[in-house]
């Protein structure tokens, strides 16, 4: 019997390999940390490739992967995969939408709490031996307006958590009906109104031609003075130089940011700003989320190779 060979080239929870091996006729190799050169040399032996965010699946990789039938991303974003090249070669690309949505949503909410109560600065002061109780009066989330740009898998979870915190939630999402939003306790509105009324703005949308660099100088000018901005979505949606300027001018009071146009950043000015909470793209980095997405993508790749079933395809070869 000829086995289908699957390469897992990034570190994933062991449940991914176990799920794949449960399919009769699949052989799995786990080789996290391969260099791009090693991947190019070895990919020709495999029928499918499973990645997280470290492996860059370029058109060159696909050209070398003569047997490749499927690429699985253990996560939602596929920025590291040349989806068009896969489509052109008839390779199915699948991801795991929703698998890490709660983890990202909790980070966004956590950043809002941290900004509201100035937690990073107060903790740093205590660790330095400073008792600065009077210097760090914060605010409360209750009663504030949260503007969500995008209410998909992650945004919807942020909305529900924010409503439970007694926040009023506005949302901009052209793909969600007012009726569906109402079920979440959210009011749909246009971007101009969201910008002008929101005390906090959290971004939850994919990066594509329409959304790339959409949060720019013009957007910051339209925002309510003293707004707090959260971006746990995708790097490149925010023009970082314009955000830094808005912080310096005081139009934006604080930022929680987990994603960057270039990762790791080449310019650390934004991360180093005293009004910024910066984390190194850890939105999905919970033990629970990694188990979920690893099991999901293992099952999806196995179903496709053995049964021909396609689940959560992001291309149409």
Q: Looking at 234, 240, 261, 295, which residue is catalytic? A: 234
Q: What is the DSSP track for 146-179?
A: EEEE--SHHHHHHHHHHHHTT-EEEEE-TTS-HH
Instruction: Report the SS3 class of residue 305.
Output: helix
Q: Can you tell me the distance from the alpha carbon of 5 to that of 138, in angstroms, rounded to the nearest whole number?
A: 55
Backbone angles phi, psi at 238, to 5 degrees: -100, 135
263: annotated active-site residue: yes
Q: Can you tell me the distance from the alpha carbon of 150 to that of 172, in angstroms, rounded to the nearest whole number?
A: 6
Sheet architecture: strand order including 145-149: 186-188, 168-172, 145-149, 200-203, 227-231, 252-257, 276-278
234: annotated active-site residue: yes
Among candidates 256, 245, 197, which has minimal Cα distance to 220? 245
DSSP 116: H
Q: Which residue, chain included where needed, has tokens 């690893």?
A: 294
Among candidates 289, 97, 105, 96, which has minimal Cα distance to 203? 105
β-pairing, 4-8 vs 48-51, is: parallel
Q: Looking at 160, 273, 281, 312, which residue is catalytic? A: 281
Centre a 10 Å sphere on the Cβ of residue 278 and count the other Cβ atoms it contains.
17
Instruction: Give me the active site residues, please.
Output: 234, 263, 281
């Amino acid at each position: 019997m000829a086995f289908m060979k699957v390469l897992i080239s990034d570190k994933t929870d062991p449940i991914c390999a176990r799920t794949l091996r449960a399919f009769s006729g699949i052989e799995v190799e786990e080789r996290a940390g391969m260099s791009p050169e090693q991947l190019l040399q070895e990919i020709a032996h495999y029928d499918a490739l499973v990645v997280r965010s470290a492996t860059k699946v370029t058109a060159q990789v696909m050209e070398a992967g003569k047997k490749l039938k499927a690429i699985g991303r253990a996560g939602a974003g596929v920025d590291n995969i040349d989806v068009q090249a896969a489509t052109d070669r008839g390779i199915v690309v699948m991801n795991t939408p929703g698998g890490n949505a709660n983890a990202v949503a909790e980070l966004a909410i956590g950043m809002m709490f941290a900004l509201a109560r100035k937690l990073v600065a107060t903790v740093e002061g205590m660790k330095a031996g400073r008792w600065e109780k009077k210097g760090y009066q914060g605010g409360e989330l209750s009663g504030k307006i949260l503007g969500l740009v995008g209410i998909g898998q992650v945004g919807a979870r942020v909305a529900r958590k924010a409503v439970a915190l007694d926040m009023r939630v506005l949302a901009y999402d052209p793909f969600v009906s007012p009726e569906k939003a109402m079920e979440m306790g959210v009011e749909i509105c246009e971007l101009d109104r969201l910008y002008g009324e929101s005390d906090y703005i959290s971004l939850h949308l994919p990066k594509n031609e329409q959304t790339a660099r959409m949060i720019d100088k013009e957007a910051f000018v339209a925002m309510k003075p003293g707004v707090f901005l959260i971006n746990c979505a995708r790097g490149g949606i925010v023009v970082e130089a314009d955000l830094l300027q808005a912080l310096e001018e005081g139009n934006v009071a604080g930022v929680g940011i987990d994603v960057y146009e270039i990762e790791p950043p080449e310019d650390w000015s934004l991360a180093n700003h005293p009004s910024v909470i910066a984390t190194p793209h850890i939105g999905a980095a919970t033990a629970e989320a990694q188990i979920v997405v690893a099991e999901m993508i293992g099952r999806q790749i196995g179903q496709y190779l053995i049964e021909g079933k396609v689940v959560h395809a992001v291309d149409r070869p």
